[in-house]
Amino acid sequence: MSSGLAFSRMNNKLVFFSALVLMLLVYGFRQAIFIAPTELTMGNIQRIFYYHVPSAFVAFTCFFANLIASLWYLKSRRLSADAWALATAEVGVIFCTIVLVTGPLWARPVWGIWWTWDARLTSTLLLWLIYVSYLLLRRFSTSGQTPVLAAVLAIFGSVDVVFVYMSIRWFRTQHPQPVMGPGGGGLDPRMGYALLANFIAFAAYGALLVTLRRNLELRRQRIEERHAMGALAGASR
């Protein structure tokens, strides 16, 4: 009874959070398309920036959270840590896919090419491939050690996250240097506000997806456990 009540309370919280996320996303979209000023040299195509950069931020945050969850799993062997690891990797791959597609859609009219093998683009593609292989390993491996192998692979993958982030500082790349922070050219305040609105909206949306996916994985683990208990009970009779 009390667990049912707690579940319904959690569901209510998730419904409320989903509604909040939807409002933030609509607000972010409005800021990006209608409120932010048009960039002088690139024109309206620059508005891809408001989806491309926050998606990259969420992907990196998910992969970082995946590293933490993987280390936690290796230390404690708790199934909940494994559920967090799977959820963050899957959502990270979704956002990384968006980065890899919106980037070339922006590059084509601005650079004149869809793709170039510079350090930032190549390492991002490599990052995507590492985490896709992580998900494939988890999906198709029949070994009982799969979560351990996946956690170790995640540690290697996280090294590439640092490389992707630093690549535009370490190498001369076609990909532009950061516009914010030290050494950046800066942003028009209205552009900065639109970017911030989308950062918050996408971060909240990413957190929602990770929570939903983790809840599903926990449920799957419980079902698997019940199957195993049922098989044991059947064998002992």
Partner 1 sequence: MMLFLPRNLILAYAFTWLVHLCYLAFLALRSRRLRREEAELDRMQTPREAKREVPAQNRGA
Binding site for partner 1 (CB under 8 A): 29, 33-34, 43-45, 47-48, 51-52, 55, 94, 97-98, 101-102, 105-106, 108-109, 205, 209, 212-213, 216, 219-220, 223, 226-227, 230
Closer residue to partner 1 in complex, CB, 57/106:
106
Nearest to partner 1 of 23, 33 (CB atom):
33
Q: From the CB of 48, what's the least distance to partner 1, in Å?
A: 5
Q: Could you tell me which residues come within 8 angstroms of residue 118 by beta carbon, excluding any fewer than 6 positions away?
A: 171, 173, 174, 175
The Cα 84–Cα 234 span in angstroms is 32
Cβ of residue 152: shortest distance to partner 1, in angstroms? 26
Nearest distance from residue 21's CB to partner 1, in Å? 11
Least separation in angstroms between residue 11's CB and partner 1 is 12
Nearest of 163, 32, 51, 159 to residue 99 by alpha carbon: 51
> Smallest distance from the beta carbon of 55 to partner 1, in angstroms?
7
Q: Which is nearer to partner 1, 42 or 196 (CB)?
A: 42
- HSE of 165 in the Cβ direction (CA atoms, 13 Å)? 14
Phi and psi angles of residue 39, each rounded to the nearest 5 degrees, phi first: -70, 140
Q: With contact defined as beta carbons under 8 Å apart, do 32 and 102 qualify?
A: no
CA distance 229 to 26: 46
* β-bridge mates for residue 43, sequence order: 39
Residue closer to partner 1, measured from CB, 110 or 187: 110
In the numeric block, which tokens belong to residue 95? 């956002």
Work out how close the CB of 117 gets to partner 1 at its nearest, in angstroms, rounded to a whole number. 21
Q: How many CA atoms lie within 13 A of 81 on its CB side?
A: 16
Q: Which is nearer to partner 1, 115 or 163 (CB)?
A: 115
Q: Between 77 and 227, whose beta carbon lies closer to partner 1? A: 227
